Amino acid sequence: MRISIVCACLLLQALFSFAQVREQFDYQSINDAVSWKGTDTAWRIENGRLKSHLQRQSSSFHIATPSSLARNAIWEWWLQLDFNTSSLNYVDVFLTADSANLQGTGVRGYFVRIGNTKDEVCLYRKDGSAAPVLLIDGRDGITNHTSTKLKIRVTRKDNEWELWVDEKADGTAFAREGTATDHMYNTSHFMGFVVRQSTASFFGRHYFDDVLITPIVTDTTPPALSSYHLRDNRTLTLCFSETLDSAILSRPEHFRLSVPGNAPDSIWQDSSRPSCLHVQFQNVFPNGDSCRLFMDGVRDPSGNVMEPATVALLYYTSSGYDVLIHEFLPRALRSAGLLPARFVELKNNSPYGLQLKGWQIGNSSREASLPEYLLPPGGLLVVCDKGNTDLFPADIPILGISSFPAPGDSDIITLRNDNGNLVHAVAYDRSWYGNPVKERGGWSLEMTDTNWPCAGSSNWKPSTAPQGGTPGRPNTVTGTGAMPPPVLLVKAFPPDTMTVNLSFNGIMDSLEVTAPAHFEFGPSLPVAGITAHPPLFNNISVSLTTPLLPNTVYTVAVSGIKDCTGQEVTTAGDIAFARVSTADSFDIVINEILYDPVSGVPEFVEIYNRSPKAVDLSHLYLARRKEDEQLDAPVALGEQALLLLSGGYAVFTTAPQALCTYYDCLQAATIYKINLPALINEEGTIVLLNESGQILDELHYFDKMHMALADNTRGVSLERLQPDGRTQDKYNWHSAAAAVKYATPGYRNSQQLPVVEVQGDLTVQPAVFSPDNDGLEDLAVVRYNFPGPGYIINVTIFDAEGRPVRYLEKNTLLPASGYMTWNGRGESNRELISGIYVIFAEAFNAEGKVRHWKLPIVLGRR
C-alpha cells in the first residue's frame, strides 16, 4: 500500500512537471540540462543562456524538452539573433510536437518561425511531411537587424490563437502580431528549438532563455480603472488593472464627456503599456473648468465587464510661475560627501496637477524635452541626467533625462511648457552664494520664498543641509515673508553709436519694458525703438535716431514700470554711459596694487581712467612680466562688456567678497572677479594692455616703494600719488594710509596728491608735514617748474644745526616739470626727530646756468 502511494505521487509530480516548463538555463554546461535532448555537440550553456554551437555550414539542428500543454496555454521565451535573418538563416520554435525529433519529416504540431525572406515572426502548423500551414502572418522587417532581441508570447484559449512580440525584449512592450483559429492538434509531448544556418558567419549567433509554458488561468475579475490623467488639451489617458478587449478601440460610445458635443475622435492603445488607452476627443477641454467622464461597457479579453464609472476631469493650461525652479546645483562635489550630481528641482506652485510631457528645460546653450510625468499640486520633482538617478536617494521623486542641460557655474535655467511659453527662468552667477566655501561646489542654491519667483538673487541662498542640499525635499532656507527689494536698472552700455543696451537685475515684463515713455535720457536722446531679449527680458536694446557724441557722458533713468512684486522699478544710483573709444597708451593707468595681502585676503590691481574717453574693460588685459622679460598669458578684464567712464576706477581680484570684507569697498560695483595673474611678493611687474597688445601702462613694484613703517608691509597696498605722474617714478607711489585700513579699492587713493600750479621754479608743500601714514600730509612734496628740460639737480636736507641728514637726489636729470617727495626719513631710513629742516637744492644745465634754493620745512610728530 505504501509503495503504491509513493509511485502515485511520483507519477503526479512527473505529469505536473511536463504540464509546465520553466527554464532559465542556469547550468554550468549543457550536460547538466538533462531534460533537453537534441543534435549532439550543437548546443552549449554560456552565461546562463542556451547558445548554438554547431560549426557546420548548410546545416540544421534542434533541441527539445518534454512538454504536454497544447490547449489553454501560454508559451513565452526570449531570444537573441546576432545576424540579419533570411530564407536560409532562421529559427523555428516548436510550441507543441508529437516527437522529440523536431526535424523529422513526420512531426506534427505548431511552431513559430523567427526570420525568413520577409524577416518576420509567424505562427505555423506542421502536418507531417506536408508544407507548413501559415496561421498568423506577422509584421515584416522585425528581424532585419544585425542583432535582434525579442520576447515572444503565444496564447491559445480553446481554439483561438494570439501571437505577441516585444521588441524591447523585457516583457513591457508586447505588440500583437495577429490572431487565428485552429483546432487540428490538442495534445503535445515536446517543445523545442530548430536552427537553420547557411555559412560560418552564422555559427554561434543564436541565444535562448527564459522559456515559460503555463496553463491559462480562467480570468473572472473585471478590469478596474487604476489611474488617469489629461495628456494634452484634447487627449485623456486611462490606465486599467489589465489589458482590455481590443474591440474597445473601435467603440467610442463607451466613453462620454459631460460637455455636450465633445465625443471621442479616436482611441489607441499605449505602445509601452498595453493596459493604458489614449482617448482623443473632437474638441479641446474647457480650460480651468471641471467636467466628468462616464464609462460603461468596458471589458477585458475574457469578457469580464467593469462596473460603470465616473471620473472628474479638469484641464488647466499652465501659465507663468505655475511651476518653479525651486533648487539647483551648479557644481557637484561627490568626493567631499556632498551632493553627487548636478540637478534642477521643480515645484508645482499651482493648485492643479500638471502634465510635464513636452515641456522643455534648458540652460544658456540648449534645451531638452521632459517625458510624461504628472506633477501634483505642491509636488517636487528632481530633474537630472539619466545616468545619475542612482546617485540620489531612492525615495525622492526624480526624473532622469538624456542630454540633461545641467546648470553651469553662472548660467540661465529656463522652463517652458508644451506650448513653448516661458513658465519660469533664473539667471544667476556664483556670487549668489555669498560664501566662498559653498561656492566651490557640492552645495545647492535654494529658493527662499515661492511668493516672489522673479525676485532674483535676494530670493536665493545656499542650502544649510549637512549633505549640501535637499533635492526632492523641502528647502532648508525660508524667507521672512517680507517683500524683496525692487528690481533695479543697473547697467547701460552702448555697443555702437546708435544703440544703448540696458540691463535690469530682475525679470521684466516684455511689453512694459519696450515702451520708450518709461525711459529718460540726459542729454536727451531720440529713441527709434526698444527690443527686449528673452527669456528674462531683463536686457533691452534701445535704438537711437542720432549717434552718440564722442567724449560725452549720458545718463538714463526709468519710471512707471513695476516688477513682478508690484514695486516700482528704479535705478541703482546714476546710470551713466558714453560712446566707447579705444584706449591708447597712458589713457588708463595702474592706480593701486596689493601684492602681499594678509592671509585670507586676495590680491588686487586697481586701474584709473585718466582720459576723457569711455572704454570697454572687456577689451583690456592684465599680464605679469616674467624674469625673462616675456609676458605671461594676458587675462581679460571681463567676459562681458564693462564700461569704464572718464575718471572711473575698476578693481580686479580673484575674490571680491573676501576683499570687501577686509577692506572698505565704498564702490562695490567697481570690484570685478577675474583670474588675476599671481602677483609676486617683494618685487614684480604688472602690465596693462589693450586687445591689440599695446601696453597702456606698466608698473615695476618693489617693497622699498612703501613708506618705512614700524611693522612690515603685508596687507598694505601701494597707491599712486598722481594719476598724471609717471608710473615708474619712485616719488609717485606711497603706502596706503592707516586711516583707510591700508587700502582704497575702487575709490580715490588716500595718499593722492592734488594738482597744484607751481608758483616759481621750485616750491615745497605743506609748510608742516607729519609722516605718520594717517593719510593727512604724510609727505613733503617738492614741486619744480624749469624753463625747459635738461636740468640736473642735487637736493640735500639739513637739520636745524646745519648737518646734512638726507641726500634726496644726486646729479639727477629731471624733466621740465614734476615733483619729488620726502617721507621724513634720514639716510639709511633713520627716523628723524621733530623740528625745522632746510631743503637745499642746486640745479644746472649744459649751458652753465646754475640755480640755488633754500626751502624751510617743519617735520612734526604726534
* Residue 813, H or E segment: strand 804-813
pLDDT band at 4 (very low <50, low <70, confident <90, very high): very low
Neighbour tally for 384: CB within 10 Å:
23
| Helix, strand or coil, per DSSP, at residue 514 | helix
pLDDT band at 13 (very low <50, low <70, confident <90, very high): very low
Percent of the chain with pLDDT over 90: 66
- Specify whether the CB–CB gap between 381 and 345 falls below 8 A: yes
CATH for the stretch 13-215: 2.60.120.200
Does 862 have pLDDT greater than 80? no
Percent of the chain with pLDDT over 70: 96
What whole-number distance in Å separates Cα of residue 115 and Cα of residue 84? Answer: 8
- Average pLDDT of span 312-324: 88
pLDDT band at 460 (very low <50, low <70, confident <90, very high): very high
Q: Is the dihedral of CA 709, 712, 717, 722 positive or negative?
A: positive
When mean pLDDT is compared across 11-20, 94-103, 660-669, the lowest value belongs to 11-20
pLDDT tens digits, one per residue of 385-428: 999 999 999 999 999 999 999 999 989 999 999 889 999 999 99
Which CATH architecture best describes the domain 588-740?
Sandwich (2.60)
Q: Give the pLDDT confidence score for residue 757 in this predicted structure.
A: 60
pLDDT band at 534 (very low <50, low <70, confident <90, very high): confident
Torsion angle (degrees, nearest 10) of CA 83, 88, 93, 96? 180
CATH 1.10.3720.10 assigned to domain 488-576? The reply is no
Helices (H) and strands (E) counted in the chain, each on its own, are: 2, 62
Torsion angle (degrees, nearest 10) of CA 110, 113, 118, 119? 150
- Average pLDDT of span 269-298: 90
DSSP string across 36-99: -EESTTSEEEETTEEEE----SSEEEEEEEE----SSEEEEEEEEE-S--BTTBEEEEEEEESS
| Helix, strand or coil, per DSSP, at residue 327 | strand
* Residue 12, H or E segment: helix 2-19
Task: Specify the higher pLDDT residue, 383 or 811.
Answer: 383
Does 451 have pLDDT greater than 70? yes
What stretches of 282-373 adopt beta strand conformation (E)? Answer: 290-295, 309-314, 323-328, 343-348, 354-355, 360-362, 367-369
pLDDT band at 18 (very low <50, low <70, confident <90, very high): very low
Written as nine digits, the cell of 647 is 575718471
Does 709 have pLDDT greater than 60? no
pLDDT tens digits, one per residue of 163-198: 999 999 998 889 999 999 999 999 999 999 999 999
Does 7 have pLDDT greater than 50? no
pLDDT tens digits, one per residue of 564-604: 777 888 886 679 999 999 999 999 999 999 999 999 999 99
- Average pLDDT of span 311-323: 88
CATH 2.60.40.1260 assigned to domain 323-462? The reply is yes
Which CATH architecture best describes the domain 225-314?
Sandwich (2.60)
pLDDT band at 110 (very low <50, low <70, confident <90, very high): very high
- Contacts of 248-254 with CB under 8 Å at 24 or more apart are 248/277, 248/298, 248/299, 249/277, 251/297, 252/279, 253/297, 254/295, 254/296, 254/297, 254/298
What whole-number distance in Å separates Cα of residue 614 and Cα of residue 549? Answer: 12
Domains 225-314 and 762-859 belong to one CATH topology: yes
Fold of 762-859: Immunoglobulin-like (2.60.40)
Does 668 have pLDDT greater than 80? no
- Average pLDDT of span 833-862: 88
Phi and psi at 722, nearest 5°, equal -135, 120
Q: Domain residue spans in the chain?
A: 13-215, 225-314, 323-462, 488-576, 588-740, 762-859
Does the model's pTM come out above 0.85? Answer: no
Q: Give the pLDDT confidence score for residue 539 in this predicted structure.
A: 93
What whole-number distance in Å separates Cα of residue 785 and Cα of residue 797? Answer: 20
- Average pLDDT of span 442-470: 92
Direct distance between the N- and C-terminal alpha carbons of the chain, in angstroms, rounded to an integer: 126
Q: Give the pLDDT confidence score for residue 639 in this predicted structure.
A: 87
With helix as H, strand as E and coil as C, how does 99-152 read? CCCCCCCCCEEEEEEECCCCCCEEEEEEECCCCCEEEECCCCCCCCCCCEEEEE
Neighbour tally for 71: CB within 10 Å:
16
Neighbour tally for 55: CB within 10 Å:
12
